[in-house]
Chains A and B, each alone.
Chain A
Amino acid sequence: MIAQTNPLLKLRDLIWAWTLRTLRGRYQQSALGWLWAIVQPVATVAIFAVVFTRIVPVDTGGVPYILFSYTAVVPWTLLATSLPDMAMSLVQNMNLVGKIYFPREALPIAALLARIADFGISFILLVILVVIYGIPVSLPALLYLPLIFLIQIALLLGLGIGTAALNVFYRDVDPLLKLIIQVWFYASPILYPVTLVPQQWQWLYFLNPMAGIIAAYRDVLIYDRLPGEYLLPAALVSLVIFALGYWFFKRVEFQFADII
């Protein structure tokens, strides 16, 4: 008989196996393989750089525009790729959900982890760029990096798990989510600096947690300063979204197999 092991430990192994499965599936038959993790953000940045340095110059505070936008595109790409994946993770594996019991959250979490792997690769390139451009980075600022990352993960987990559950009931979620991500892109400081937003609207602007997260990445990595107090609303909103998403998932989880 198998010793009754910790269920969380088992969940961890399942998530791990499923993440590997997702990554293998994604890069198995592609020639570039994991290089795709870099190709996408780099191509995006290349286009931005042409438009926003030649055609409509943007004030980046003395930082090369390529670095300025790449710093934002890397965390943004994580959001833009992982959310649709997570939202589809249950629906795409109906045959599994309908036939075997396992902790259902394993699927969206694994979908996120598989995208975090891509994020890691493109983040390495970000570090290389920072070094190449000779941007000074201080240690205390660097210590903020894990915190910023965790805030973003909380946000993505909450949104992703919640939409994955909602998608089981309404397939409208997937197209709607893609639409929201499109709008969200312009509501976040990716193409432009935060300073472009009028002072009196900044409080509202920073209710968008991605604004705080991206601003914080920039402060730490390219402006050599500590993130400002704008990180607090980002953290709070992300935590609330995480709690709501998880609560909703747990509440409707038992219906998945019947509806799928």
Chain B
Amino acid sequence: MPPVIRFIDVSKRYNLGLTRTSLPSVISQWAKQVLRGGNASARKYHWALRNVSFDLEKGESLALVGPNGAGKSTILKLLAKITNPTSGKVEVHGQLSALIELGAGFHPDLTGRENIYLNGTILGLSYKDVQKRFDEIVAFSEIEEFIDTPVKRYSSGMTVRLGFAVASCIEPDILLVDEVLAVGDASFRQKCIERIKTLLNNGTSLIFVSHDMGLVRSVCERAIYIEHGQVQQSGTSGEIIDLYNQVLDRRRIEKMNRAEGAMEDVEGGVEVIKVEALDANGNPVRETYGDQPLEIRVKYAAYKDIGKANAIILIYRSDGLMCANMRSHLDGYPLHITKGEGEYSVRLEPLQLFGGTYYAITWIMNADDSDGIAYGASEWFEVRNRVPGREAHIAVYEPNRRWSQNLRTAVTETARQA
């Protein structure tokens, strides 16, 4: 059976700025051009998508994952025929129903009842089809008592419920769902997920856009990661979610380091030059495992003799959870800093961190440990789990361990009597 959706090398370009210029502004544009003598009217374009290709089979569910502005919504709009590709080809076989924006297709002055008919016919149903499904739609949306109230008086939650009810009750061959579900409450979301799963079982294909990775995981088998209008990676939703989380984590850490680096000063007479994570052989690592040793090494430069000092090294998980807090003087290891460059390090053997993205920061403290005099942070490093099925970030500690089991003979009637 051919795929229900084929996206073949699709690119989409948008014009930025005014699409049509008025006569006065055209004249002023000309004037500018004449005065400058150059080609001032270089049009600005934005490529929302570049050479995107993917297929979707019948009954399959695909998530589009990526940061804001990556091009996910443009893909949905192309699929829904709202807009056309600049180049490439979009093939859609079957009836498609799109839940792209909250309340799109609802008229605020009309009642819920009238809107169900209006929206249903816009989505491609006949009047009779809507009539047949009317009760089901109302029951699903849970707005029975407000069905004859104008939609403008609905809460956003009620609107999205009605929208989802109409879009899903028409049992389309292909369902597109954008971020809208985030509006509903938890129980309604659960209901929507159930509904989507039922549709999937009945052969509907789904394309799902969400920033909620929990939703993506529970609804979609496959996912593609999109950034800058291009498909960066495709795989199972588990793989793509991991990738997405990593990208987010790295961004967060880089942003944090930049922000903190700006405040850096050498008032204390010492400066942290570099914080590195090193493997067993002393080579910098970006990726390691919890059962491997890890050394965190700090290079510093002192512009004067400081004498006694203390070092703190903290390991944070990307979401801000502090996982280790190590103070050199509490470990009976005070530093001694003299003018010039130097380094200190702490070795964790083995690392014993659970899979996730981490980074280390360090403080050089004054002699009585009352004030920090220098600060530095490492880049992120990735700790991987040995077992592929295990998800990142759901635990912190990966202990060295040994399982055991003792098998005793079963407690039988005779044993009990004895």
Q: Which of A's residues lie within 8 Å of B, judged by CB?
A: 1-2, 4-5, 9-10, 13-14, 16-18, 20-21, 24-25, 28, 95-102, 169-170, 254-255, 257-259
Contacts and interface: CB of A to CB of B under 8 A. Distances in A.
B20 A28 contact: no
A16 B127 contact: yes
Nearest to B118: A17
A10 B121 contact: yes
B246 to A, nearest CB: 33
B100 A99 contact: yes
B80 interface: yes
Given A9-B126, A21-B114, A2 B171 contact: yes
Contacts of A28: 109
Given A9-B126, A13-B126, A28-B109, A99 B83 contact: no
Interface in B56-104: 77, 80-84, 95, 98, 100-101, 104
B125 interface: yes
A10 B77 contact: no
B19 A10 contact: no
B100 to A, nearest CB: 6
Interface in B293-326: none
A99 B20 contact: no
Interface of B: 14-15, 19-20, 77, 80-84, 95, 98, 100-101, 104-105, 107, 109-110, 114, 117-118, 121-127, 129, 170-173, 203
User: Which 5 A-B pairs give the minimum distances between C-beta atoms?
Assistant: A99-B104, A101-B81, A14-B121, A17-B121, A13-B127
Nearest to A97: B82
Contacts of B100: 99-100
Contact of B122 (A9, A14, A98): A14
A98 B82 contact: yes
Nearest to B150: A28
A2 B173 CA distance: 9
Nearest to B104: A99
Given A18-B118, A21-B110, A28-B109, A5 B171 contact: no
Contact of A101 (B80, B117, B173): B80
B101 A13 contact: no
A21 B118 contact: yes
Contact of A100 (B14, B84, B122): B122
Contacts of B14: 258
17 contacts: A1-B203, A10-B124, A10-B125, A13-B125, A13-B126, A16-B127, A17-B118, A17-B127, A20-B114, A24-B110, A25-B110, A97-B82, A99-B82, A99-B101, A101-B80, A102-B123, A257-B83
